[in-house]
Structure 1
Amino acid sequence: MVGLTEANLRALAGARSFERGLGYLDAVSGVEVGDAWVTATVHGTERYEVELALNGPGGVAGECDCPYGLEGNFCKHLVALGLTVLARRESLPRQRKAARDRAQDLDAWLSDLSREELLALVRDQIAEDRQLRRRLELRVASARGDLAGVRTRVRELLDIGPFAQYGYVEYADARAYSDQAGQAVSAIRALTGSGRAADAMILAREAMRLLAEAVESVDDSDGWLGHVAAALVEAHHAACRSARPDPEELARWLVGHVLGDMDDLTGIDPLDYADVLGDRGMTVLRNLAVEAWRGNRTGWAEKYLMERLAKAGGDVEAVIAVHAADLAPDGRTHLVIARELDAAGRPDQGLRWAERGIRDVRDPAAVDTALVDHLCDRYAQADRLADAVALRRDHFDALRTLLTYRQLRAAARAADCWPAEREGALALLRADAGRRLESGRGDSVLVDALLDDKDVDAAWRAATETGAHERQWLTLADQTRADRPSDALGVYLRLAESLTQQTGDAVYGRLVSLLLSIGECHHRLGTSDEFTAYITALRTAQRRKRNLMRLMDEHGL
């Protein structure tokens, strides 16, 4: 049991998964100990099969068929099993010896059986285990070179029929279907291993099509079929490496696949096949990609393929051409181009594309914020502070939000011109606040901006003159009650009155917080008797709200 310690489990899993694993100790069942492994079932969101390898070449390792474990992570279920094993460490040596003895006894017994007895044993297992029968049938078909037989079995394995109700595989059955589909991948790999790589390549392509059709009718919320698809792609690639198909034919198939509907499932990257395609195949691939893109410059798949090939070839001009052919109206594509040029060591051109992005946007309020940020950063780096301020001013003028106000303030302070810019920005916000007052809206960016500037007196005046949201009034009261307790008290009382008409624990929590602030104001004003009378009247009026009464009691109200 070298290497299996609590510290090592924590190191393998990480602190978060280790802590979560502590909560699954009671969910471990069916622990089975082998000579170098321990298996169990852990009941989490689903029923997961877990295996710990003890004393392996790299120390302790584990596998779990939960989604997180299938990604190669040492999950919380493995932690739970590891801790369960550690809790039984005293009996583990005896159990491992017993497992070795059983394995030796079984091997000796099998060795003593005659050929007829072994055949009878296998036939019995085949009759009882349908999955074993299917796997062996596939091996037979592969060994005999029966491509038609293997194809038939692969189609059966990918058929959702046995798992579907009303033509759809529900979440509860998706795992079982994916396990069966995985057997098709194993069969294709076996074909390659038996020297029939060309057949494996053909079957892998057909299996991708069948799986893509099947996934439309499966609730694959946990992504099991995604793992099967990834394994299928690996099997196809391995078959291609062995079969060495015609590079031009492979290039055509790859482009057709990427531009078709199946790619959403398999996610094949044609560049992964460069070792099989060679120079001739890659040339054909590029030509086909260019042809497809020219035929549909706005197609997502066409753009993705062209961009991948262009980047792989270091062709910045081609990358730019792909994006420039379909510029987004908000300028975000201009930003992509600008960043590509920056990365290629061409910052001046990148700057021009970013500036063009700002000019090309018809509606200033719709411009991509990341483009504005990028361009302002570039201006700051070039010591073009006035340009950064102008851009921030235009952005603020278009949106009139607290964020754009803050950004304008930061740029203007860097350029040492904030007082003048602030006056203009506040004039715009005052005009907005006046219109909001006329329309009956109480929220005001003006109040938030003044509060953010720490100009509480101006914020109070603005709230009084043009209105404010309850959140803003509360902030104002909190920030002024030490110096202006009478004004703050009026705000707290008004907000509290509104809450007394509502119910719910969250409301009660807010109300009690207000009551404590009201009490502080009365204390500062020297009117504690008035607060006592207020609380007494409130308790009488609200006595039926038991949770509120309890909460007030807890706070001494």
Structure 2
Amino acid sequence: MSSTTDLRPYLRTLDAETLAELLYAQAERDPELRRSLELRSTTQGGDVAEAHRLLDTAVEAGNYEYAAKVGSVLDTLQRLLDAGSRADLAPLARRTVDDISEMLERIDDSSGEVGDQAERAVELYARACVAHPPDAERLADWILEVEFDGTGRPVIELADFAAALGDTGLLRVKSTVDKVLAEDAPGARREVAQRLQEELAEVSGDVDALVAILSAKPPRVDVSLKIVRVLRAAGRHGEAIAHAARALTHDKERCLPVVVRVPRPRLVDDGVSRLREEFDRLPCHETYVALRDGATAAGQWPSQRKDALARLRERAAEGPVEAGELVRALLAEDRPDDAWRACTRFGASLALRVELAEARAAEHPAEAIPVYRDHVDELIGQKAPNSYAEAAKNLRKLRTLHKRTDTTEEFGPYLSALVETHKRKTRLIAEVRAARIAIPKPARA
């Protein structure tokens, strides 16, 4: 192999454990590399200490300065977690969530900037708990406190914490949820308990309980589709078809949560026919998925699929909304490459293009670059403080994408032109600096 061969594409295909073993073996042979790695390891402790110091001073800061300091703490947490740090980051992550939650109770967060940071902090805390699980019962108590007693606090997704909670923690959550529901008192506490009850059923894989909870809700398309997907994922295809058929009759008397375990052939055919009629009446990704689930269970999907996709492609040329329905249908089919091609061909919305670009950036960074640039322009055009902050975050992503595609030399001129165009937007420039992006100095005349 030539000494000039770029090994980075190959190295990116390796998992973290394999890379760690290779690096460790090389460090054993190379004292200088070992010293460098040891220095980086001790630096992580310094990063955590600095993050705690920022939180100590952030409380006394103004809203804007507070958001910047907490953002730096979250950046540190994410960087360490992404690097696979062996340090227990859960205490820092939990403190960050608690501090942000307390701040939300005291300030006017009409921009939603601090609220967004709260959601990000919860996600990072969940990751830190998975890496270093805390005491399960104490974690459960914290989740219950946030959910039931915290006004303005972020919503917790139990699925994110399920691995750290384990059976012990989940049982503790269930015990409190059951007690609140037994009180039979309307209000916010009951609504929280009902949501947690549904999440507990999902996390535990209790299909019957989850279907019963969903069936008790007022009839809605999204609820019916979720029931169909839950039943189908559990291998209960006959029940999925029966429920889909009942949901599409628009007959309230037939919307009762009755479960038909062994559908007769005629019921199967009628169910698929109703699903097809609903798709033809309203061709979109939701009715497409419902048709796919029912027809697959009946063994009729190959004959239905081609015509259904053709119908969505015909509508995709009508506009961004219709194009988006085709793209989401292809994503539901686990065909991301086809979804991307449809997105670019038919001109789906920028929001959807950004969503796909985020998913494709890992393997196709070059394709994501123009989408992120359009997204930056859109955010700046909104002329709002939180939009400027989001634009700065996307500029950091763009910088990374240019590095990964070996086009770093293109990012500087792009950023320079962007700053020159928007040099009067001082808040934007401040957000770019806060995101630790070096702004190029203007060229001398």
The bucket for the TM-score relative to the shorter chain is 0.3 to 0.5
TM-score w.r.t. the length of structure 2 is 0.40
Larger C-alpha radius of gyration, 1 or 2? 1
TM-score w.r.t. the length of structure 1 is 0.32
Instruction: Tell me which of the two structures has the higher relative contact order, counting C-alpha pairs closer than 8 angstroms and 6 or more residues apart.
Output: 2
Higher strand share: 1
